[in-house]
């Protein structure tokens, strides 16, 4: 996870680790203009470190589901 977190740091966004006991995930808030760049860095570093391709899911915030 540290590899993925380090890959996102410094992108004007934020990153948190979650689910560490189950293999772990990170949640990264990244400016839209930097998504492709951050994906490329994470993919490259993760594959180099672990020999596997990471799963990356893109989500976009929308208005609240309840009021």
Mean per-residue pLDDT, 47-63: 86
pLDDT, greater one: 59 or 4: 59
- C-alpha–C-alpha distance, residues 36 and 47, integer Å: 16
Q: Which two tokens stand for residue 29?
A: 């808030």
**Tens digit of pLDDT for each residue in 1-21?**
566 666 666 666 677 777 766
- C-alpha–C-alpha distance, residues 7 and 1, integer Å: 10
The 8-class DSSP code of residue 48 comes to H
Q: Looking at residue 59, what is its pLDDT? A: 87
- pTM, full prediction: 0.68
Annotated domain spans of the chain: 2-50
**Tens digit of pLDDT for each residue in 27-51?**
888 888 888 988 888 888 889 888 9
């Amino acid at each position: 996870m540290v590899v993925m977190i380090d890959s996102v740091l410094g992108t004007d966004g934020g990153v948190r680790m979650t689910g560490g006991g189950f293999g772990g995930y990170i949640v990264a808030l990244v400016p839209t203009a930097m998504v492709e760049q951050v994906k490329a860095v994470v993919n490259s570093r993760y594959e180099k470190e672990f020999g596997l391709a990471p799963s990356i899911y893109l989500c976009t915030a929308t208005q609240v589901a309840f009021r």
